[in-house]
Amino acid sequence: MTDRYAVFGNPVAQSKSPMIHARFAQECGQDLTYEKILAPVDGFAAALQAFRDAGGKGCNVTAPFKLDAFGLATEMTDDARLAGSANTLRFTENGINAHNTDGVGLVRDIEVNLGVPLKGKRVLFLGAGGAVRGALLPFLKAEPATLALLNRSPEKAETLITMMADFGTVSLCDPDKSDGFDIILNGTSSSLTGACPALPDGVFDGCALSYDLTYGKGLTPFLQAAKAAAVPHLADGVGMLVEQAAESFAWWRGIKPGTRDIIRDMTVPLE
């Protein structure tokens, strides 16, 4: 019997997940379907239950439902718990298991696909929203020398720093100066609106990799600023997108698909 999976969102028409998971299933010889489900903004729980009642095995969850998905979980992984949100659900006889694969996918893209080890590196995240929150635990596990946050609202960043205290040290970056970072990641929503996040003077000095978590936008204003500062390596979030999907697929099916060919096919040149 063919197993059913889906991605829930609003909007969801733009999602690349069905294409990605169809390729994973073909590669791994898995009998499954994967569809897009547009859930009402105030009706996620009902839409999810309807999908589960119809035989759904699990799903991915995108904006604006990641917090709702987390709230419906009866069990959750540490990645979901610390992120405070879930992008992957698995249905069991006893309830709903929740996971967050975003951070793991991002770390894998940087270390494996881009060939940049995080251990011993000085890392700066711009932003303190859900994407950054979900990445902190996987990044701490990779043992960077420094993991810092710079956010328009310092109080929000300080909340995340306190949350992570039992797992490692996350610091607050001084917006008026930069101590030098090897890797700088834009986790704000600025690239979706064509804006550039506020950047301290000299923040790119010595930077080896600038990474925008937004994907498919080409050379975003953040990456343009990095390029102008002669940062040698620029990347967007297409690898993160595919790698987090592969982590979800493996969590559901117990088999890890390859990702390199899909990332290559989906990459938009940064020009």
The domain that holds 52 is classified in CATH as 3.40.50.10860
pLDDT confidence band for 135 (50 / 70 / 90): very high
CA distances from 70 to 5, 6, 38, 100 (A): 18, 17, 18, 9
Q: What was the pLDDT predicted at 75?
A: 97
Report how many domains make up the chain: 2
Do 95 and 107 fall into the same domain?
A: no
Q: What was the pLDDT predicted at 1?
A: 82
Do 42 and 165 fall into the same domain?
A: no
Do 139 and 73 fall into the same domain?
A: no
Last residue of a domain, one of 100, 123, 150: 100
- Please answer whether residues 142 and 107 qualify as being in contact, where contact means their C-beta atoms are separated by less than 8 angstroms: yes
Q: Which of 222, 224, 187, 230 is nearest to 205 (CA)?
A: 230
Asked if pLDDT for residue 196 goes beyond 90, the answer is no
Do 232 and 121 fall into the same domain?
A: yes
Specify the DSSP element, H or E, that contains 146. strand 146-150
Token look-up 């169809």 returns: 22
The answer to the question of residue 252 being in a domain is no
Total Cβ atoms within 10 A of residue 255:
12
Q: At what angle do helices 238-253 and 17-28 cross, to 10 degrees?
A: 50
Domain containing residue 177: CATH number = 3.40.50.720
Query: For residue range 202-226, what is the model confidence (pLDDT) as tens digits?
Result: 999 999 999 999 998 899 999 999 9
Q: What was the pLDDT predicted at 186?
A: 95
Structure-block tokens of residue 237:
């979030």
Do 81 and 129 fall into the same domain?
A: no
Is residue 217 annotated as a catalytic residue, yes or no? no
Do 221 and 206 fall into the same domain?
A: yes
Do 224 and 129 fall into the same domain?
A: yes
Residues across the chain = 271
What domain range includes position 206? Answer: 103-238
Entry pTM: 0.93
Q: What was the pLDDT predicted at 141?
A: 95
Mean pLDDT, rounded, of the chain: 94
Percent of the chain at pLDDT above 90? 81
Last residue of a domain, one of 53, 84, 100: 100
Q: What was the pLDDT predicted at 47?
A: 98
DSSP state at residue 145: S
CA distances from 57 to 35, 64, 217 (A): 12, 21, 33
Question: Among 16, 36, 57, 66, which one carries the catalytic annotation?
Answer: 66
Query: For residue range 160-173, what is the model confidence (pLDDT) as tens digits?
Result: 999 899 999 999 99
Do 134 and 197 fall into the same domain?
A: yes
Do 39 and 79 fall into the same domain?
A: yes
Q: What was the pLDDT predicted at 147?
A: 97
Do 53 and 150 fall into the same domain?
A: no
Do 71 and 126 fall into the same domain?
A: no
Longest C-alpha distance within the chain, in Å?
Answer: 59
- Please answer whether residues 245 and 16 qualify as being in contact, where contact means their C-beta atoms are separated by less than 8 angstroms: no
